Structure 1
Amino acid sequence: MTLNYRGPLPKRAIGRVNAWLTALRSSARWGPMLRRHLTIVTYTGRRSGRTFSTLIGYRRQGDIVTITVRMPDAKTWWRNFTGAGGPLSLDLDGAARTGHAVARREKGHVIITVRLDRR
């Protein structure tokens, strides 16, 4: 059996799960735990010039944030950070933090490394 991740049903389901997790991330009870692993990334599309926001999982060490994009061929947002990379904003520690992100392919997934700007 082959799963098609590009069809409308999975996209709708993923949208609902992301909306649910975003709401939980804002809750007083579950928020602190979820915010340690999930953040909202906001960026401007290279070609469209539009601003987008999406919920992502991340790991952080100091001023370096690492985002692993699984199934990158089914997603397009990470392509805004190929080559020299580009600016973005992350919701960390209850505030928007800006930084510069660079994406690179690695063994079936994409790694985005974000260097946060100094406050």
Structure 2
Amino acid sequence: MSDNKAVIPPYVNAAMKFILRSPLHGMVSETITVITFTGRKSGKTYSTPVSYSQKGNQVIIFTDGRWSKNLIGGAPVRLRIRGKDYSGWADLVADDKELMANMLVEHLNVVRRDAQYYNVTFDEAGNPRMDEISRAVDHVVMIRVTLK
């Protein structure tokens, strides 16, 4: 990705985790969740706040974070969504660029502020620009969580 990509400072992630686990979660929990997973090599439990979009029992997350490698081949995860804890199964999607592009468009239509993290802008009609979406999916992975 280009060097002008927005980066979230670690103190913001720490504050988000605190807020999402508190009674104040309603300020941000419509589109931000905490995903908790186990490190493949370390066996340690990790939690990180991420933007998400949801349709029924499917939660979609996009990231370029290295932590996503822990989900290769599928893995159990926990999500904190709108103040409630859920268990689910996370599948990492990195090779199906067409699916990723379609889902990123849907995600950005729900969570428009995320466009800055993928260097995507919107056209005059308010739609994400497809050429920028195509470039973005070359640098991210999609995590599809099926909630139990």
Tell me which interval the TM-score lies in, with the shorter structure as reference length: 0.7 to 0.9
Corresponding residue for residue 86 of structure 2? 97
TM (normalized to structure 2)?
Answer: 0.61
Conserved? CA contact 2:88–2:145, under 8 Å: yes
Distance of 1:90 and 1:56 partners within structure 2: 10
2:29 is aligned, of 19, 22, 35, to 35
Distance of 2:87 and 2:147 partners within structure 1: 6
Higher relative contact order (CA 8 A, sep 6+): 2
**What CA deviation, in whole Å up to 9, does each residue of 1:61-86 have, x standing for no partner?**
110000011xx2xx221111112x10
TM (normalized to structure 1)?
Answer: 0.74
Hey, which of these two has a bigger chunk of strand by percent? 1
The answer to whether 1:114 aligns with 2:108 is no
The answer to whether 1:15 aligns with 2:10 is yes
One-letter amino acid of the structure 2 residue matched with residue 21 of structure 1: M
Distance of 2:49 and 2:29 partners within structure 1: 11
| Mapping for residues 53-92 of structure 1, pairs under 5 Å | 53-69=47-63, 72=64, 75-83=65-73, 85-92=74-81
One-letter amino acid of the structure 2 residue matched with residue 79 of structure 1: K
Q: Any idea what SS the aligned residue of 1:22 has?
A: helix
Aligned length: 103
Distance of 1:17 and 1:33 partners within structure 2: 14
Aligned alpha-carbon RMSD (Å):
2.3
Unaligned stretches of 5+ residues in structure 1:
none
Fraction of identical pairs, as percent: 31
Q: Any idea what SS the aligned residue of 2:14 has?
A: helix
